A = this chain, B = another copy of it.
Amino acid sequence: MKLLNIQGLIISNPINIRYILGIPVEGKILIADRENIFVTDARYIEEVNRFLTINDEFVIYDAKDLSDTDNQNFFQNCENVGFEENYVTFAEYENIIRKYRIKNMEETEGIIEKMRMVKDEDEIRKIEKACEITDKCFDYITSFIKIGMTERQIALEIQKYFLENGAEGEAFETIVASGENSSKPHAVPSDKIIREGDPITIDFGAKYKGYCADMTRTIFAGYINDQMKETYELVLRNQVRATKEIKEGTSCKMIARSVENEFYLYNHSLIHALGHGVGLSVHELPILSHNSQLSLKENMVVTNEPGIYIPGKYGIRIEDTIRVGRNEPEVLTKSTKDIVII
């Protein structure tokens, strides 16, 4: 807060609140010189009071017990109050200024999101567990998939597997995109039937105690044709090469550029970021793209997911969730990247 020159801070993004308080509840954390408070409502007050102790350094309030004057006084000694400009809506921004009579609102540029980038041991253990369930699910699903099934059927089976095998559920909506659908990076599972010769891109991940895994494999139904094989090898070569650079000090821009350049040499392009942070959110900082100014640090957890998409024909993407090591990467999703034919 000193670096940002702010004396007060309002945190309302539920994921940031979960990160700070350790429980999934809604409300607002208000930090000022006098005290830190967590303002919630009747839906959550009992849970919060049960979970947080005096050691948590937050005083809990039910919003309805705070008068207008209480609210107006809270930040009275704060010249600048930080807020989450990437979460707070414009309407809420105006509401906050009115409600708390704030003199200057200051953008915090992801102050909490940046804290969330480097994971502690407990967080890494949870992500590892999410990745382990995801790997086991891949094993299971490759034996489950048969020619003639629909994409939707496969996506449902993945969801069920997660629920029955210790995950809270999916970390995000599973993508199962086969044949020409695989050329759409964010295809939604459809009633399209898996046919012989189809590539099948499966982008999925379990959620475990709030933490996410994110993995993609492209597998093949019956056989793989030469063109797809060539593309697969180009993607895989780059995925493996980039993985080696997932270590302390690597520039997020440079690692993305290196794959972009290599694809370009083969007349392809990387139409999305090379990767992103993974934690309580499936997409978080840092972003591995040519727009990023960040460098990797030990115990960040990021994805590495190059993909090539030939519109109307097919697409290949290979993605792992990886812990950034001091000297080398630790790949947390361990499913085979050899060509799998089902």
Name A residues whose Cβ lies closer than 8 Å to a Cβ of B: 24, 42-44, 46-47, 83, 85-94, 107, 156, 159-160, 163-164, 169, 183-188, 271-272, 309, 311-312
Contact = CB atoms under 8 A, between A and B. Distances in A.
A201 to B, nearest CB: 13
Given A85-B91, A88-B90, A160-B160, 13 more contacts: A43-B186, A43-B272, A44-B184, A44-B186, A46-B183, A46-B184, A47-B184, A85-B94, A86-B92, A87-B89, A89-B89, A156-B164, A160-B164
A311 B183 CA distance: 53
A47 B186 CA distance: 9
A43 B163 contact: no
Contact of A159 (B24, B169, B186): B169
A188 B24 contact: yes
7 contacts: A43-B185, A43-B186, A87-B89, A90-B107, A91-B107, A159-B169, A160-B164
Contacts of A42: 185, 271-272, 309
Contacts of A312: 46
A89 B86 contact: yes
A309 B312 CA distance: 55
Contacts of A92: 86
A83 B85 CA distance: 17
A187 B47 CA distance: 8
A8 B86 CA distance: 24
Contacts of A187: 47
Nearest to A159: B163
Contacts of A309: 42
Contacts of A91: 85-86, 107
Nearest to A269: B42
A154 to B, nearest CB: 12
A333 to B, nearest CB: 22
Contacts of A86: 89-92
A171 B160 CA distance: 16
Contacts of A89: 85-90
A133 to B, nearest CB: 14
A9 to B, nearest CB: 15
Contacts of A311: 46
A164 B156 CA distance: 8
Interchain residue pairs A-B with the least CB separation, the first 9? A42-B271, A43-B186, A85-B91, A85-B90, A90-B93, A43-B185, A86-B91, A156-B163, A46-B184
Contacts of A24: 188
Contacts of A159: 159, 163, 169
A163 B271 CA distance: 32
Contacts of A186: 43-44
Nearest to A169: B159
Given A85-B90, A156-B163, A156-B164, A184 B43 contact: yes
